[in-house]
């Protein structure tokens, strides 16, 4: 039976061959877990880099703990670790440490997101490794850039609370984290951007460098528009549910049968068109609604009046009218509904993937194209240590040595 989530092969752009991707010649060794560090490797891996995920085992450790998460973390490993190889080693043993140092000697980039001091204890910090490999680019993903806060333990939710984002997302007096790991994901993306900049610099100097990305500073960048709003206007930004919208109609409407739909009418010509399409021409001539700014000032009475006018229509009826007339609208969609989204299916935004336990699913590709093609999936999220023997053999280990390392790791 055909997979209902499979993309139409005739309409979806094909993934470019691995060798044509921009970072196909780059080797990344990552010591990462959770979301931030793995996102950096995800970006570089999707763009062609060979990404080797070193997973620490032995002494009670069983690789990236994200593999075992449940609840809201259940999708972390599957999403952020595709296009990677897994090398499982006990880094507490001299043999494991030697193997990883051999690997790093062949790397262009090392990426890590452990607590400050962890990599130094292992002898895998930048100051140590650059002596082994001066061309090495070392990307550290932390909670805070160096400064007064750097000793603190950070999580996405922690920096959302202290960085103004939770204040802006929730209602007054009710701070609320965003509905995704926005700082972890973007922090990893900025780590990847920094690595790309360092690669370009290395072309000129022949030397690597250390790159740092941090959750808190990423969060501050996200709320910078509100910081600058205060600088420009002198007025503190109100939380999003209480903000003064720049548009007269920019709201979620509850319509027939309790359905919801988001509608936006953001220009004077769109306002006239909207009123004509839904038979509310009496409002077009109201001088209190002549311009968008007038409609913003009238929102207290205008939006309730429009809610009453729109309530008899179904969400699908409104959507059809808005789409036919190029007016912005959106259904209120749950994340899992996107697995059946016709646009994502038609454009190849969802790629077939096999989970480490063998189950088939789909994953979401990077939101960009290269020469009209999506950067696709080359490697499924790896099983723990799936590529250990292959990588160790490439590093010069013989079969007996590999077997001995595997025994040490048990």
Dist CA 377 CA 252 (whole Å):
36
Dist CA 206 CA 339 (whole Å):
45
Residues near 37 by Cβ (< 8 Å), separated by ≥ 6? 30, 31, 111, 112, 113, 141, 188, 191
Query: Which among 64, 125, 184, 371 is annotated as catalytic?
Result: 184
Rounded to 5°, the CA angle 359-360-361 comes to 120
Backbone angles phi, psi at 110, to 5 degrees: -115, 135
Give catalytic status of residue 371 as yes or no. no
Q: Which of 64, 57, 48 is nearest to 16 (CA)?
A: 48
The DSSP result for 107-162, as a single string, is -SEEEE-PPTTHHHHTT-SHHHHHHH-TT-EEEEEESS-SSTTTTS---HHHHHHH
3-state secondary structure of 267: coil
Specify whether the backbone of 258 is left (phi greater than 0), alpha (psi in -120 to 50) or beta: left
The DSSP result for 286-334, as a single string, is -GGGSSHHHHHHTHHHHHHHHHHHHTTS-HHHHHHHHHHTT--EEE---
HSE (side-chain half, CA atoms, 13 Å) at 408: 18
Q: Which of 382, 371, 368, 344 is nearest to 189 (CA)?
A: 368
Specify whether the backbone of 273 is left (phi greater than 0), alpha (psi in -120 to 50) or beta: alpha
The residues assigned a catalytic role are 184
């Amino acid at each position: 039976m055909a997979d209902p989530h499979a993309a139409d092969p005739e309409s979806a752009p094909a993934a470019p061959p691995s060798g044509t991707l921009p970072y196909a010649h780059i080797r990344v060794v990552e010591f990462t877990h959770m979301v931030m560090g793995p996102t950096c490797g995800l970006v570089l891996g999707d763009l062609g880099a060979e990404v080797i995920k070193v997973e620490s085992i032995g002494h009670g450790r069983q690789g990236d703990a994200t593999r075992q998460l449940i609840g809201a973390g259940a999708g972390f490993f599957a999403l952020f670790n595709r296009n990677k190889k897994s090398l499982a080693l006990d880094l507490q043993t001299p043999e494991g440490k030697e193997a990883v140092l051999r690997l790093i000697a062949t790397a262009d980039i090392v990426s890590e997101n452990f607590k400050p001091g962890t990599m130094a204890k292992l002898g895998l910090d930048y100051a140590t490794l650059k002596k082994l490999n001066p061309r090495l680019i070392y990307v550290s993903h932390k909670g805070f850039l160096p400064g007064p806060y750097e000793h603190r333990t950070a999580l996405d939710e922690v920096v959302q609370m202290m960085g103004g984002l939770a204040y802006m997302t929730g209602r007054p007096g009710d701070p609320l984290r965003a509905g995704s790991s926005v700082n972890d994901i973007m922090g990893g993306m900025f780590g990847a951007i920094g690595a790309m900049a360092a690669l370009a610099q290395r072309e000129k100097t022949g030397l690597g460098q250390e790159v740092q990305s941090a959750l808190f500073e990423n969060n501050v960048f996200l709320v910078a528009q509100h910081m600058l709003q205060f600088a420009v206007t002198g007025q503190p930004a109100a939380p999003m549910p209480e903000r003064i919208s720049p548009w007269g109609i920019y709201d979620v409407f509850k319509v027939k049968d309790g359905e919801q739909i988001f509608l936006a009418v953001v220009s004077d010509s769109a306002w006239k068109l909207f009123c004509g399409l839904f038979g509310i021409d009496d409002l077009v001539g109201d001088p209190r609604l002549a311009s968008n700014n007038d409609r913003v000032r009238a929102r207290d009475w205008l939006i309730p009046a429009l809610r009453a006018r729109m309530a008899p229509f179904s969400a699908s009826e409104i959507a059809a009218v808005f789409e036919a007339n190029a007016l912005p609208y959106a259904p209120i969609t749950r994340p899992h509904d996107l697995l059946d989204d016709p646009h994502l299916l038609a454009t190849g935004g969802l790629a077939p993937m096999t989970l480490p336990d063998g189950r088939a699913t789909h994953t979401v590709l990077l939101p960009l194209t290269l020469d009209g093609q999506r950067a696709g999936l080359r490697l499924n999220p790896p099983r723990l240590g799936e590529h250990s023997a292959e990588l160790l053999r490439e590093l010069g280990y013989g079969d007996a040595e590999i077997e001995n390392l595997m025994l040490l790791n048990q």
